[in-house]
Amino acid sequence: MRWVLLFAAFVALCGCEPEEEKKAQPQDKPAEVKEVKPAPGEKVRPMVAAGRFYEKDTVKLRKEVEGYISAASIVDEEKKTFSGDAVALIAPHAGFVFSGPVAGYSYAAVKGKSFDTVVVVGSHIPGEGASVLNLDYYQTPLGYVKVDSEVVKKLLAKPHFGFVPNRHNEHAIEVQVPFLQVALKGNFKIVAIAVTDTDSKLIKTLAADLAEALKGRKVLLVGSTDLTHYPAYEKAKEIDGKMMEAWKSLDGEKIVRREKELMKEYAGTDNLECVMCGKAPVAVVVEAAKLLGADSIELLKYANSGDVPAGDKREVVGYGAAVIYRKKKAGELSQEGQQYLLKVAREAITAAANGRKVPAFEAKTDELKAKRGVFVTLMKKGRLRGCIGCFSSQQELPATIAEHAVLSALRDNRFNPVKPNELDDISIKVSVLSERRKVDSADEVVVRKHGIWVVDPQTGRGGTYLPEVATDFNMSKDEFLSSCCREKAGLPADAWKKGKADIYIYTTQVFGEGK
């Protein structure tokens, strides 16, 4: 049995002017998976685990993976699991006949979601630092996945990342890819990282480098790991329960330390060879996920190889599934809502710049039916190209976004109208505003958290700075308020100090395209 298990577990800146609202509204078409194939000369990471860890036949493989995800999805729907935006998964990597039902729970958590880039971290082949796959495509029986060469390039510029081809010649990352191809909507690019070193400083460094390289993208991280190797069924459940409890800490160092502690605590256990083979990958993913905004984890499923017909309860391997996510705060838009509004803005400015009628955009979900203030910022090669917004609106969010995207592109009097040949070089950032609140004094202003609106109570003349202005220019509170008075409201710089300007504050949820 051990040999069977060994084989199965192997190889902006925006000082913007508010504008009055008008109208607008596109129909969100589901993202379709477009077949991608390598061009002549492009390099492919070929399959090494197909036919051994999972089905090599395309039709059978898709049906099998869909079955695992669907079965888990039914249970998840009944449990009404996590509420928030998934940032990372922990998923097992043994042969699908053993770990597939548990992996299904990990991928059910992101079923139907779309991501720009998926980073899978895993490995059994020892080596220094981290090896990031520097080829053009990743292949499975379900097709090719494009490697995110931009992210890879950024990582390879860091001292602890390199590309060692043989470290990718095993199954820990590969077995996650068919699940991703079935679960996710639309095309995604992949970054495959092999790491085994559990040094705490290295893990923190790798996570920081990874988070930095992923800025501006909608990202999913995957930590690939199995749990105990080869104790008896009940003992595996006991040890694995303690190991998964450590996952809840969302602390990479604690997770690594707990694995070592459990190895010592259960040193006399028959056949125990390992408590968690992917402790380094999971630690890196946990730390990177936190830097990308994750603040919560939910354990989704546990089972071991003794739970399936092909298994033997005398010697088992444990499997756990978890999702690491960012809790949704009151009034915040989901990632799906954000992506839809960015699409609205893009389609609106494209139509307007080309002299076409801006299409009508539907508010398909309750969150999109909100009537809120927004600012739409256009950047071209790192420089402001237009920004107009409003503090309140009588329209639903898609209409408000479309309107102010067009105004930013064509009506910001600081710039010439955007031309069609500029569109590819322009990136879009959206700020969705909370309601403004008048404060009694500047003491209530929290720099980098609050946007400000300063206004002369006598004339009504005023101006605003979004919160990110303070961040982009590293402003103190005095600088933030004084600059807004002088540059945006046309008031003396010290008007806010002398009681000659009323101060209003608001917060923003900011999101943008990954350009």
> At 401, which CATH number?
3.30.700.20
For 29, 185, 355, 357, the CA distances from 362, given in Å and listed in that order, are: 11, 20, 21, 16
* CB-based burial label for 87 (10 Å; 0-12, 13-18, 19+): buried
CATH number of the structural domain spanning residue 479 = 3.30.1490.150
Whether 288 is covered by a domain: the verdict is yes
Q: No. of H helices and E strands in the chain?
A: 14, 20
The number of distinct structural domains making up the chain is 3
Q: Which two tokens stand for residue 83?
A: 């509420």
Instruction: Give yes or no: residues 233 and 344 share one domain.
Output: no
pLDDT score of 74: 67
Whether 6 is covered by a domain: the verdict is no
Whether 448 is covered by a domain: the verdict is yes
- Residues forming a β-bridge with 384: 379
Averages of pLDDT over each 10 residues, the chain, 515 residues: 37 40 34 76 96 96 97 66 87 97 96 94 96 97 97 97 97 98 94 97 97 91 98 98 98 97 96 97 98 94 95 96 88 86 96 96 92 94 92 94 97 96 95 93 93 94 91 91 95 94 94 75
Whether 182 is covered by a domain: the verdict is yes
Q: Which two tokens stand for residue 407?
A: 């105004």
**pTM, rounded to two decimals:** 0.71
CB burial readout 464-477, b (16+ within 10 A) else e: bbbbbbbeeeebeb
Which residue is it, tokens 């040949």?
A: 421
Instruction: Give yes or no: residues 207 and 105 share one domain.
Output: yes
Rounded-to-10 torsion of CA 336, 342, 347, 350: -160
pLDDT score of 26: 34
Cβ pair 295, 268 in contact under 8 A: no
Whether 152 is covered by a domain: the verdict is yes
Q: Residues with Cβ < 8 Å from 130, sequence gap 6 or more? A: 155, 160, 161, 162, 193, 194, 195, 197, 206, 284
Instruction: Give yes or no: residues 79 and 187 share one domain.
Output: yes
Q: What is the distance between the alpha carbons of residues 454 and 484, in angstroms, rounded to a whole number?
A: 7
Instruction: Give yes or no: residues 21 and 59 share one domain.
Output: no
Question: Concatenated DSSP letters for 355-390?
Answer: TPPPPP----SGGGG----EEEEEEETTEEEEEEEE
Instruction: Give yes or no: residues 335 and 321 share one domain.
Output: no
Cβ pair 389, 374 in contact under 8 A: yes
pLDDT score of 78: 54
Instruction: Give yes or no: residues 342 and 281 share one domain.
Output: no
Which residue is it, tokens 């350009």?
A: 515
CATH number of the structural domain spanning residue 54 = 3.40.830.10
Whether 35 is covered by a domain: the verdict is no
The 8-class DSSP code of residue 473 comes to T
Query: In 3D, which of 124, 140, 123 has the Cα closest to residue 132?
Result: 123
Q: 204: domain range?
A: 46-327
Instruction: Give yes or no: residues 266 and 306 share one domain.
Output: yes
Instruction: Give yes or no: residues 222 and 311 share one domain.
Output: yes
Q: Which two tokens stand for residue 354?
A: 């080309």
Cβ pair 242, 262 in contact under 8 A: yes
How far is CA 228 from its chain centroid?
Answer: 29
Instruction: Provide φ and ψ at 246, rounded to 5°.
Output: -70, -25
Instruction: Give yes or no: residues 297 and 420 share one domain.
Output: no
Instruction: Give yes or no: residues 125 and 244 share one domain.
Output: yes
Whether 381 is covered by a domain: the verdict is yes
pLDDT score of 29: 37
* CB-based burial label for 25 (10 Å; 0-12, 13-18, 19+): buried
The domain boundary residue, chosen from 327, 350, 382: 327
The domain boundary residue, chosen from 310, 327, 344: 327
Cβ pair 504, 418 in contact under 8 A: no
Instruction: Give yes or no: residues 299 and 409 share one domain.
Output: no
The domain boundary residue, chosen from 327, 347, 378: 327
Whether 38 is covered by a domain: the verdict is no
Instruction: Give yes or no: residues 262 and 149 share one domain.
Output: yes
Query: In 3D, which of 403, 404, 375 has the Cα closest to residue 464?
Result: 375
| Helices 397-410 and 335-353, packing angle to 10 deg | 40
- Residues forming a β-bridge with 453: 464, 504
The sign one gets for the Cα dihedral 489, 492, 496, 502 is negative
Cβ pair 512, 427 in contact under 8 A: yes
